[in-house]
Chain A
């Protein structure tokens, strides 16, 4: 297996707080890698360092043999790394169909394209792909509704659809089931395990152990900015360090 994302010696401090200290993480192509850890462990900071929202103090982030540090978010997207946010980041004033057309256009048009005289209705290939993707996510029946008007669970699935339509090489998911009812959570798990997504390389940050153990090939445990261990779900379950640092605390969740 080749390494697609290589995070080496990454540090990030906010004032006096060490959010990440010497984080090393290698994501293999094709795997679903979960990052777990208590609140404030630095999981979201780590993702932000990968997609250009934050710049690490030192260390390197290499994606597909390309240095990511200092690159603009839109260039990182075109390199093939796509992030799904914890609070759904969609276009609330556009229809669902337009919401998935935008990322499809990004994939085709690049970071900037000026085509003011082209008709949107004439974009047959993009329209077709957008409808098909919405259908995969069971959202096609309200494709002409405004995205701001649908339920939170639907919004999160819409954002997932917006990520998938770009055929990313690596999908970063920030707590894809946070705040969802059990029924919606299971639906999301099924989606992530579906034909279309199961072979896609994914990094998932998650609190819900049910989600983590049903999806992850490997798990890394992040505690107070340190990765304390990485291993298969079986290894992690039986690791006393993990039990002490994380699983023990989270039983009240």
Chain B
């Protein structure tokens, strides 16, 4: 756990050589890490594949922005409210969706997500401000702030944590807030994974019929897991709004729900750290690969002879810039085909391989129980 905290907090240092050391991206790593860690509590432990978790991300963002508008620019109430409201929505959607399992459950969550998305775009415009997205304005009441005598005089007010602006220190403060939340979120998830409650969730994934005849009412267990993961998504949504106080319906689109599924599978379903790695990788691809263009490629392959350089640039071009999805798709396919356990499985195999080379440890392959043995 200490190692984990250290690694997260020092991210600006070790991500620097990868070209990922700018606060905007670091914040995204941490926030989507929270989202994926929460999603893994549902998908990784119970095996219930939800295709609608972006709904809770969106609801969290809307709630946070409303809190900025009506209450205060401090992010604490915003984030807490975001978690509560998404939790309530998760309770309702989960209660209805969990009447079915397997593919029917997935379809139900997808249907709810699309409903929420369409509502946010059309009927609920007074609450969501439709296409434009929900924004702050100087005239917002901000009841708590005005009671404290803080009035925005010029321009839009900025989000803060008890007075310290989230944007301060070039945005690194925002990253550290998100990073601390990630560490807390990870710790809670670790506790759940290692609790009797977590083991029961895994037993439901393994054989739900047996669970019922063993004396467990499985539905409340599933619903609790669903609500917890919904609250994680709400937290992530609230943090997104804290960093950039703007909430749009596109955050709830099904592609966003699909993204968290990809993150979890890419990193390793049911492992503790895997989903977070997946989140980082996907966000990295999205931000770094999509920014590359032909000129930069020429720079990268500069050391090669002219002909080869041009050839390499031609080959690589379709995979960067607009085509970054192509790279992601290829990586995803390779992982799913060769490492069904995700990147975590790959790392474990690599680790085992290194151990064998140096003659440490036995060469036996133990029954891999990655989740309870803990990698952190």
Residues of A within 8 A of B (CB): 51, 72-74, 77-78, 82-83, 85, 89-95, 98, 101-103, 105-107, 109-121, 123, 126, 144-146, 149, 162, 166
Contacts and interface: CB of A to CB of B under 8 A. Distances in A.
Contact of A102 (B191, B200, B228): B200
Contacts of A72: 212, 217
B-side interface mostly: helix
B191 A112 contact: no
Interface string B192-224: 101111111011011101111111111011001
Contacts of B194: 119-121
A117 B196 contact: no
A78 B192 CA distance: 25
Contacts of A121: 194
B199 A94 contact: yes
B216 A106 contact: yes
Interface of B: 188, 191-192, 194-200, 202-203, 205-207, 209-218, 220-221, 224, 228, 366-367, 369, 372
Contacts of B221: 112
Nearest to B367: A146
A107 B221 CA distance: 16
B232 to A, nearest CB: 13
B215 A116 contact: no
A121 B198 CA distance: 12
A120 B215 contact: no
A116 B198 contact: yes
A166 B215 contact: yes
B115 to A, nearest CB: 29
Contacts of A114: 197, 224
A111 to B, nearest CB: 4
B213 A120 contact: no
Contact of A115 (B188, B197, B209, B228): B197
Given A91-B207, A92-B207, A120-B194, A77 B213 contact: yes
B213 A83 contact: yes
Contact of A74 (B203, B212, B369): B212
A146 B206 CA distance: 11
Given A115-B195, A117-B195, A93 B205 contact: yes
Contact of B191 (A89, A98, A109, A117): A117
Contact of A103 (B215, B217, B367): B215
Task: With a 10 A CB-CB cut-off, give which of B191, B214, B369 has the most chain A CB atoms.
Answer: B214
B210 A90 contact: yes
A116 B197 contact: yes
B214 A77 contact: yes
Contact of B215 (A77, A90, A91, A115): A77
Nearest to B202: A94
Contacts of B200: 102, 105
Nearest to B270: A93
Contacts of B215: 74, 77-78, 103, 106-107, 110-111, 166
B258 to A, nearest CB: 25
Shortest 7 CB-CB contacts between residues of A and residues of B = A77-B215, A106-B215, A91-B206, A111-B217, A93-B206, A89-B210, A112-B220
Contacts of A77: 213-215
A118 B199 contact: no
A107 B215 CA distance: 8
Contacts of A103: 214-215
A90 B203 CA distance: 9
A149 B206 CA distance: 13
A39 to B, nearest CB: 23
Given A95-B369, A112-B220, A115-B195, 17 more contacts: A51-B213, A89-B207, A90-B207, A90-B210, A91-B206, A98-B203, A103-B214, A105-B199, A106-B215, A111-B217, A112-B216, A116-B192, A117-B191, A118-B196, A119-B195, A149-B367, A166-B215
20 contacts: A72-B212, A85-B213, A90-B210, A91-B202, A92-B207, A94-B206, A95-B369, A106-B215, A106-B216, A111-B220, A113-B196, A115-B197, A116-B188, A116-B192, A116-B197, A118-B196, A120-B194, A120-B198, A120-B199, A149-B367
